[in-house]
Structure 1
Amino acid sequence: MGGRGRSRTQRKHFKQSRDNVWKHGSNSDASSAVDVDNSADIQTTKKDSWEPLKTQNAAFEDYYKEQEIVAPEEWDTFIEFLRKQLPAAFRINSSSQFCLDIRSQLEDGFVKSLQSEFTGDETEALRPLPWYPENLAWHSNFSRKQLRKTQTLERFHEFLKLAHEIGNITRQEAVSMVPPLFLDVHPDHFVLDMCAAPGSKTFQLLEIIHRANEPGSLPSGMVFDYSVVANDVDVQRSNLLIHQTKRMCTANLMVTNHEAQDFPGCRLSKFLHKCSDLSAKGLIIDQLLFDRVLCDVPCSGDGTLRKAPDIWRKWNAGMGNGLHGLQLKIAMRGIALLKVGGRMVYSTCSMNPVENEAVVAEILRRCGDSIELLDVSSHLPQLVRRPGLKKWKVRDKGVWLSSYKDVPEHRRPGILSSMFPSGRNIVDSSQKHDGHGAAEGEDGEGNMDAECIAEPAMNDDASLPEINDEVSSFPLERCMRIVPHDQNTGAFFIAVFLKCSPFPVIEKTGGADGQMIHKKEDLSKAAKENASNLDEGEAISAGDTETDAGSLDNETSKTLEDDGSEDQQGTGSEIAVSEKVGVKRKLQNQGKWKGIDPVILFNDEAVISSIKAFYGINDSFPLHGHLVSRNSDTNSVKRIYYVSKSVKDVLELNLLVGQQLKIASVGLKMFERQTSKDGTSTSCRFRISSEGLPLLLPYLTKQVLLAPLVDFKHLLQYKSIKFGDLVDTDLKEKTSAIELGCCVVVLKEAHTLSSVAIQVDSSTIAIGCWKGRSNLNVMVTSLDCTDLLERLEKRMEARSAQTSEVQNVGAKVDSNLNDTDVNEEGKNDVEMKEETTVDMVAS
């Protein structure tokens, strides 16, 4: 019941995205519609009665005034910014082939043109975000509404729409770009994004890794063997994530569907009897552990008021209280999956300290010296941020609570000691209770009792000092809170953790073998003494020593769940302790996941050999053993995906542990089954996909054509060209000579001879085509063709401008040289006359 309750609650709040009620025609609720004019934000009902959209909430203002999120003298400015629409922000996708071209177009084109059209505060209507590296993120003072409505911005708006649809830019809130920048990802890291949809941060992480390549190198998954696992609980939202990230053209990504707090660790120790020889399989991992974890948890979202003003109407203090438990579970699961020496970023788009500092403090309280809260104040110095709070209060049912002892007994199932700065679980002696009353469902104010945390034994407050205003003893000032009026953004909270060591070991004090304790009473006692305030399922590490699953008896296997399907799991051989000790929990179905196609290693030698022979794929490209499909019937496979070595290891581990991972997407779509419309038969049934072409292109030796600019542009314009209509003679001959079927057309640089071998680098432009009996047909979408034509025109204009500038400089140099020659001749004439005069005088 507990798992199902969590699932319902999580999906209820976060499965569907909110409507943007600033937008024309959006509905703020089931009975109203919204329209917006250019002068004010107006709300209209179906009866056409107009009234202002409400951007105020007395409970909200009272709450954050009391929490002292900002200084009293800043309050009016703070609220004023919250009531304004959020300016548009976007990020140039650094993995795009035209990244530098787009940045130059913004810097030298739109910025200057907008400055000439607008005055005053609007002269900096478009500018790069000063704290984002390499001018790759941009901020516009115009809201999305203004971009759509203002005629003078129409050209800029069209540029944004096309670039976003193609994938050259990502429309993303500015503060949402911050957490990945503090994760410090490297090209050899295993990375987990726990709550990834809709995928902007995942894409950003992939870009950061991609930028670590040498300048000019190709986006190859073989250069750096990293792996990124992007997880989200909802399958439909994951589809958007998959769509976002496929533009990255990476074989190192896996998308999974799990509740983040129950993400499986895929521990192999329980399955060692099934695979005794790991070295023969080449498997180098025996469980899922990550170098970096991004924990951007579900939250109440009041930091997004500027783009989702419907929150003004819905907000109440119970929203944050109800999510605290879930956020803590997800964060602790992330730390459990983190390697020693790894880094985790915890973030929310909420301003509520109960969702932010309270969660951070409880993590530090539970993990002790194993976890360090990092001070990153010197990183990104141009990003304006506020230090985290060290004191706050909890509001429940309209009452302010300064300490857990103030919580009425009937409210303790929903109001936890971990919500308070001290985290001390103290009550009046007349109000003692067992501390485990976690009821299912929600109360009337939105408190999610299903997510309550099990509390340790209560202490009589007579033995403890009186607490009035609690202050946390942890260095929470190392957290950062971004508020809207500092840099005209939304609000965000970020904390960065470093895992210094495994969690403490719980062992029997007696006995030479040092076996893990597994008796119910001993385990309960040890948990109270050594892991105060541990939640059910939180990890207790076995330290640096490996615990052999074979050495644990049946009773141990009942009490210590380490398969990761239900309970949390930690690093090394960390073992999760169930709240219901001694009760064997039902394992998840280890067979095929309902509604999810299986991941099958594709080993059809006949098909692979035909692909290699047809395209002349170089043997240095590791094709064998790196292909997967989603269809168990080899003859019916429509798509073949390519995975990197690191992802392949995860897949093999997942198969060995009974397919614990629910995989929605994996790898890079490399080949697609293709049939000719005119019935032409080809020796290879699979064409190269557009996503896979950048990775495979350097290794192709057949079916590659070199086209001059004129023919390349004609292909993009007309989509299909007869061989006889090709301008270049060499291209005509080679097109006729290659086999029928898929081919690749590469843009030939000027003055490049057709006989010269194709040199592929990051600037190479190529498209997939299909050679029929008499035509060459483009296999690229119309939108991609339009964008590529525009990019080529921009490049030609830039080169023409450079050529003209060089010619002008050359002409100026020649003119100066001519003037110098004339002056030298005049000087010589003068010298000759002077010499003649001297000679005459001398004689």
Structure 2
Amino acid sequence: MGQVRMSEAFQGYYKTIIPPEEWEAFEARSKERLPFTFNLNLPTPKLEAKFLEHLAAFLQVNALEADFAPLAWRGGREAWKYSGSFYKLSKGFPELNRFLVGATTSGTIYRQEEVSMVPVAFLGVLGSDRVLDMCAAPGSKTRQILRAFRDEQSVISSGFVIANDAVMKRCNLLSSIHHPCLLVTNYEAQYFPHSFPLKTDKKPNTENPEPKKEGKDILTVNYDKILCDVPCSADGTMRKLGTSFLSDWDGSLSVKCHHKQVKILEKGIELLKAEGRIVYSTCSLNPVENEAVIAEVLRKHPEAQLVDVSTQFPELKRAQGLSSWGVASEGKILTSFSQVGDQSTKENDEKITPTMFPPTKKEIQKMNLQRCIRLYPHHQNTGGFFLAVLTKLPKYKVKGIIPPPEQEPPPPTDPKI
């Protein structure tokens, strides 16, 4: 990995986001290689214990016991972290490296960034849950979700997981995950269907067709848990992508992502059961893709509410969500929509809109944006990440009228499953 080069625009903008006393630590850590982290992927605790015995033997031979440890905030032994980089591991400890590469190839473990593990941890999946992973590829979070479906007596659970992705080639990656409770689908996340037509072996009566009835030929599904890990500008992944990734950063990609992110989260709220849980996440640190998206969805959907998870995973270092920010545009930081210039020559997805700016003081009091979570590289030697945990209130608890869902294309007669 080459040296991370941050553009002047990136530094100028994020100095308004990162607390001043933390900037040097943030900048220094962002230029380092990521630690090597992985999850165990075995069906039973007995097999996990056997693998960990072999791992412990390799660590002892190489005097690395102090450098390899389970992630403390996870509270178990299923996720591990090596304080050095994978590059250092592969060059300095070839036998241990071969062991871990073999374990990865066999599916015994899978590599996953530490911050990427956080959204599923806060989702709190149970084996009986109906779970939707809206933007699932390449599948590390899906694998993490499926761990909750493991049972010591049986690998079969009463719940299920739908792993969806908009790109068919990426769905092929998801289909390599073999689990009886997993279904892979191929939809644009913002148009994911609420109902599915049921196939039947009965030949249709073409002369006197029966009208379709809800519950007979149509299956409507609401989900207990939804992961909404949306496409984003990925500017929090500087430690992984490195080199010149941020050298031409200007904030425009965050503007392009914003509206699609809002639509995907809105669809997730629609598909969620009352009192269910949805986690919205990005690997961006830009509030235009994060707090601004949450604020707009809360504004439009009074049935949605941010959950206070400040006492969950106390060993996970985090920063609160923001209630004030600017929008980066053409080398400037705009603090209100009134400062936006002529946009007549821009495409619709390139235009800055009022939804990208902070909510009003009155809205801030209601929204509780401080309940959002920001994970910075210097807090616990990770990449940058954002997440927010939301729930859906029952209708009788909602003040005002719940807006109807937006019109969407009808589901296909033969869903792409």
Same fold (TM over 0.5): yes
Shift of 1:241: 1.5
Q: Name the SS of the counterpart of 2:37 in structure 1.
A: strand
Alignment of 1:686-697 (within 5 A): none
* CA offsets 1:133-181 (integer angstroms, 9 cap, x no match): 321111112212112222xx11111111010111110111111011011
CA distance in 2, matches of 1:314, 1:231: 32
Are residues 1:387 and 2:320 paired? yes
Inter-CA distance 323–287: structure 2 relative to 1 (3 Å threshold): same
Write the mapping of 1:583-594 to structure 2, written as runs, cut at 5 A.
Answer: 590=412
Separation (CA, whole Å) in 2 of partners of 1:144 and 1:190: 35
Rounded Cα–Cα distance in structure 2 between residues aligned with 1:394 and 1:357: 12
**1:103 positional shift:** 2.3
Equivalent positions of 1:816-835 (< 5 A) are none
Instruction: Name the structure 1 match of 2:107.
Output: 167
Kindly indicate whether the alpha-carbon contact (under 8 Å) linking 1:480 and 1:493 is maintained by their aligned counterparts in 2.
Answer: yes
Match of 1:219 among 151, 155, 179: 155
**Distance change (3 Å), C-alpha of 1:138 and 1:161:** same
1:398 aligned partner: 331
Match 1:126 to one of 68, 74, 78: 68
Counterparts in 2 of 1:455-494, with a 5 A limit? 474-494=367-387
1:265: which partner in 2?
A: 194
Distance change in 2, residues 1:276/1:55 (3 Å) = closer
Q: 2:51 aligns with which of 91, 102, 119?
A: 102
Deviation at 1:577, TM superposition (A): 4.1
In structure 2, the CA distance between the partners of 1:375 and 1:273, relative to structure 1 (3 Å rule), is farther
Counterpart CA distance in 2 for 1:472 and 1:417 is 19
Shift in Å at residue 398 of structure 1?
2.0
Match of 1:328, SS? helix
Which structure 1 residue ranges, 5 or more long, are not aligned?
Answer: 1-21, 23-40, 42-52, 118-122, 425-464, 506-529, 532-538, 542-568, 570-575, 579-584, 591-657, 664-843
The separation in 1 between residues aligned to 2:168 and 2:285, in whole angstroms, is 28
Q: Secondary structure at the residue paired with 2:183?
A: strand
1:317 Cα deviation (Å)? 0.7
Q: Give the residue type in structure 1 aligned to 2:250.
A: N
- The aligned counterpart of 1:75 is 23
- Is 1:367 matched up with 2:317? no
Q: 1:109: how far off?
A: 2.2
Residue type matched to 1:159 in 2? F
1:540·1:577 contact (CA, 8 Å) conserved in 2? Answer: no
CA distance in 2, matches of 1:502, 1:60: 43
d(CA) in 1 for partners of 2:73 and 2:49? 19
| C-alpha distance in 2 between matches for 1:277 and 1:483 | 47
2:367 match: secondary structure: coil
For the residue of structure 1 that corresponds to 2:246, the secondary structure is helix
TM-score, length basis structure 1: 0.45
Aligned residue in 1 for 2:149:
209
Q: CA deviation at 1:275?
A: 4.6
Distance (whole Å) between structure 1 residues aligned to residue 292 and residue 315 of structure 2: 27
Q: 1:372–1:497: 8 Å Cα contact kept in structure 2?
A: yes
Question: What one-letter code is carried by the residue in structure 1 that aligns with 2:146?
Answer: L
Q: Could you tell me which of 312, 315, 328 is aligned with 2:249?
A: 315
Counterpart of 1:127, as a letter, is A
Q: Deviations over 1:541-584 (max 9, x none)?
A: 4xxxxxxxxxxxxxxxxxxxxxxxxxxx4xxxxxx347xxxxxx
After superposition, residues 55-454 of structure 1 pair within 5 angstroms as 55-66=5-16, 68-69=17-18, 71-95=19-43, 98-106=47-55, 108-114=56-62, 116=63, 124-150=66-92, 153-210=93-150, 213=151, 216-220=152-156, 224-243=157-176, 245-246=177-178, 250-266=179-195, 273-276=210-213, 286-309=219-242, 310-368=244-302, 370-410=303-343, 414-422=351-359
Q: Deviations for 1:182-236, whole angstroms, at most 9, x for unmatched residues?
A: 11112221110000000010111011222xx3xx31212xxx3211110001111
- Spell out the pairing of 1:533-552 with structure 2 (5 A cutoff): 540-541=403-404
Give the letter for the 1:200 counterpart: S
TM-score by length of 2: 0.88
**Do the aligned residues in 1 keep the contact of 2:4 with 2:239 (CA within 8 Å)?**
no
Which residue in 2 is equivalent to 1:712? none
SS in 1 for 2:358: coil
1:497 paired with 2:390, answer yes
Once residues 28 and 230 of structure 2 are traced to their aligned partners in structure 1, the CA distance between those partners, rounded to angstroms, is: 27
CA distance in 2, matches of 1:304, 1:476: 23
Q: What residue is the counterpart of 2:205 in the other structure? A: none
Tell me how far 1:409 sits from its aligned partner: 4.7
C-alpha distance 104-78 of structure 1, shift in aligned 2 (>3 A)? same
Q: 1:138 is matched by which residue type in structure 2?
A: W
Secondary structure at the counterpart of residue 90 of structure 1: strand
Q: How does 1:673-688 map to 2 (within 5 A)?
A: none
Q: CA deviation at 1:501?
A: 2.4
Q: Please state how far the C-alpha of 1:392 moved relative to its aligned partner.
A: 0.4
Check 1:362–1:165 CA distance in 2 against 1; reply closer, same or farther (3 A cut).
Answer: same
C-alpha distance after superposition, 1:468-506 (max 9, x if no partner) = xx967521111111111111111111100010124999x
Contact 2:132–2:226, Cα closer than 8 Å, also in 1: yes
For 1:98 and 1:473, the matched residues in 2 are separated by 48
Q: Equivalent pairs: percent with the same residue?
A: 39
> What amino acid maps onto 1:337 in structure 2?
L
Supply the AA of the counterpart residue of 1:496.
Answer: V
* Pair 1:324–1:472, CA change in 2 (3 A): farther
Whole-angstrom CA distance in 1 between matches of 2:197 and 2:113? 40
SS in 2 for 1:353: coil
- Offset of 1:110 from its aligned partner? 3.5
- Is the CA contact (8 Å cut-off) linking 1:103 and 1:136 kept in structure 2? no
Task: Check the 8 A contact 1:387/1:479 in 2, yes or no.
Answer: yes
Give the number of aligned pairs. 400
Q: How does 1:35-54 map onto structure 2 within 5 Å?
A: 41=2, 53=3
Distance 2:158 2:4 in 1: 51
One-letter amino acid matched to 2:149: I
- CA shift digits 1:776-816 (9 cap, x unpaired): xxxxxxxxxxxxxxxxxxxxxxxxxxxxxxxxxxxxxxxxx
Q: Indicate yes or no: 2:416 matched with 1:662.
A: yes
Structure number with greater Rg is 1
Displacement of 1:95 in angstroms is: 2.1
- Asked if the contact 2:305/2:367 (under 8 Å) is kept, the reply is no
Contact 2:327/2:334 (8 A) holds in 1: yes
Aligned to 1:811: none
**8 A contact 2:40–2:108 mirrored in 1:** yes
Deviations 1:214-262 (A, max 9, x none): xx31212xxx32111100011111111221x21xxx2221101111011
| Helix, strand or coil at the partner of 1:390 | coil
In 2 relative to 1, CA 295–162 (structure 1 residues): closer, same or farther, beyond 3 Å? Answer: same
Q: Does the aligned pair in 2 maintain the 1:422–1:472 contact within 8 Å? A: no
1:177 and 1:207 map into 2 onto residues whose CA distance is 12
Structure 1 residues 287 and 105, CA gap change in structure 2 (3 angstroms): same
Deviation at 1:125, TM superposition (A): 1.9
SS in 1 for 2:280: strand
Secondary structure (helix, strand or coil) at the match of 1:372 reads: strand
Within 2, Cα distance between the matches of 1:503 and 1:304?
42
The structure-2 alpha-carbon separation of the partners of 1:157 and 1:217, relative to structure 1 and needing over 3 Å to count, comes to same
SS of residue matched to 2:54: helix
